Amino acid sequence: MKTAIKNGQVLYKGKVSKRDILIEDNLIVEIGKNLSKKADEVIDATGLFVAPGLVDVHVHYREPGQTDKETIKTGSKAAAHGGFTTVCAMPNVTPAPDTVAHFNDIQKINKKDGVVHIKQYATITSGRTDGKLVNFKALKKAGAFAFSNDGSGIQGSNTMYEAMQQAAELDMAIVEHVQDDALTYGGVLGEDAAKKLNIKAMPWVSETAQAARDIILAQATGVHYHICHVSSRHTLAIVKAAKKAGIHVTCEVSPHHLILSGDDINEDNSMLKMNPPLRSEKDRQALVKGLLNGTIDMIATDHAPHTDKEKDQSIKTAPFGITGSETAFSMLYTKFVKTGIFTLPQLIKWMSKNPAKKFDMKKVGKIKVGWPADLAIFDLKNQSTIEKKDFASKGNNSPFIGQKVYGKTMYTLVDGKVVYQAK
């Protein structure tokens, strides 16, 4: 069975040009002109943009333990809806993947219910609480993508140091939600927004202080250390210096931290509550600049679904987090590519090529003959509206519902099979 994608504007070898793609046995077998005559079925991509499937190193699927918020099936369908073909699922579920048995249980569901490729994180410590380290060697053998306690920063310096030593020996990454709990002071918003709403702030030092500690430990151990969802310009300054010093540190930024700042929080709206919080407009602009100058390596959604009931509370008490899989590409394309701040190849680099490359994913992140046919096809010309009814995720907790955007996903293919098609 051969499938051809014809007449698409294809991102190939860093340039966008009109080409056909021929797929057979899950693989891209030819890229060129007039290939549809060789195919048994044809996807007409005339006027559409064909990209390598997007790669997200930071999603939360809530299963097991919190399936009222999301399941692996609904989360992976949401990823497909957003054009993602490879995602990396964080381990803050119950029970956490802190043993081989727990890890294998989750892997079984990933394989059974996932409609995209799901790479699974294991935890750094037992139960994601500071103290007892997991069996890194056994969890790597079981198939762990990397190690993270995401949702919680590791408070003990000795715990992090010893974890990095073990991960470095196995050539595995430590992926960290950087947060010194003693410096959060129970705050829920960045300083600017907190002042406007007269509630407690979570200062930027809570992020930057722990990032600085961890970077020194990464230098000492030689581990690949990856910082989740950078939000502060002060953290970026430290990351930039670390890279210059040759320390193996990478970092990601979330779409919401690129698009929004504390200036957008003028009322008690829990849809604008995430951790780390939205910080100043200066921070937001620094994050955009950080992508452009290479300090930030990639964009990751931090897709974090919650129930309507949970989010229908004050910003003081509602849980942190917003969904991101289904809105990331269209929002970023509209806000940054359409306005000339980013180029289209740059955006795809940060959302596909770079995450695959920095985490050494094999045959992921490019359109290439002989590679799996993991592809996303977007409509960049016609405007659409982000609507709750179109979400595949169980979570509707997005501040972007109602936004008019370009870049609607028309098709997503995983291993050559259509796993999402626009209605």
For the segment 255-275, what is each residue's pLDDT rounded down to a tens digit? Answer: 999 999 999 999 999 999 999
The pLDDT of residue 131: 82
Q: What are phi and psi of 340, to 5 degrees?
A: 85, 10
**b/e code 377-395 from CB counts within 10 Å (16+ = b):** bbbbeeebebeeeebbbbb
**How much is the pLDDT for 362?**
97
Residue 31 shares a structural domain with residue 87: no
pLDDT at 170: 98
The pLDDT value recorded for residue 130 is 79
What is the CATH number for 60? 3.20.20.140
* Domain span holding position 286: 53-358
**What's the pTM value of the predicted model, to 2 decimals?**
0.98
pLDDT in tens, 306-352: 999 999 999 999 999 999 999 999 999 999 999 999 999 999 999 99
Which one, of 160, 210, 140, 204, lies nearest residue 180 by Cα? 210
Residue 363 lies in a domain: no
| pLDDT at residue number 201 | 97
Distance (Å, whole) CA 368 – CA 351: 17
* Nearest alpha-carbon partner for 239 in 248, 356, 155, 168: 248
Shared-domain flag, residues 15 and 59 = no
Residues 319 and 416 in one domain: no
Residues 238 and 383 both lie in one domain: no
Q: Are residues 315 and 185 in the same domain?
A: yes
Q: List 379's β-bridge partners, or say none.
A: 408
Q: Are 187 and 200 in contact (CB under 8 A)?
A: yes
114 and 19, same domain (yes or no): no
Q: Which of 20, 214, 302, 379 is catalytic?
A: 302
Report DSSP letters for 364-383, one per residue. Answer: -SS--TTSB--EEEEE-SS-
What are φ and ψ of residue 71, in 5° steps?
-125, 170
Residue 151: its pLDDT value, please?
86
Q: Is the dihedral of CA 77, 82, 86, 92 positive or negative?
A: negative
Q: Which residues of the chain have pLDDT under 70?
A: none
Same domain? 204 vs 307: yes
What is the pLDDT at residue 199? 95
Residue 274: closest CA among 359, 352, 179: 179
Between CA 188 and CA 198, with CA 194 as vertex, the angle to 5 degrees is: 115
Our answer to whether residue 214 is catalytic in this structure is no
